Amino acid sequence: MADILSEFQDDIDAVVLITACNREFEVDINGETVFSKNLLGRHGDDGEIIDLIRSSIAKQKIL
């Protein structure tokens, strides 16, 4: 979490962790789901989620 906050401090207004049923884990960036443990059936690989966040923010900056 500290990596996300330090790297994206100018791009993210807030980080919210929400406990969900069935060990769900999702990462949404401005309404876009960039990772879903339920859909993939696995945890994120090392560095995978931060890379997905980078990609999502880069796409949003282009738009």
DSSP assignment of 19-52, as one string? --GGG--EEEETTEEEEEHHHHTSPPPTTHHHHH
Tokens representing residue 2 in the block: 């500290």
Q: Residue 45: what pLDDT?
A: 94
CA-CA distance, 56 to 47, in Å (whole number)? 15
Mapping DSSP to helix (H, G, I), strand (E, B) and coil, where does residue 63 land? coil
More confident of the two residues 51 and 26: 51
Please provide the average confidence, as pLDDT, over all residues in the chain. 82
Domain boundaries, the chain: 2-62
Give the global pTM. 0.76
Q: Per-residue pLDDT tens for 12-36? A: 776 666 666 777 888 888 778 888 8
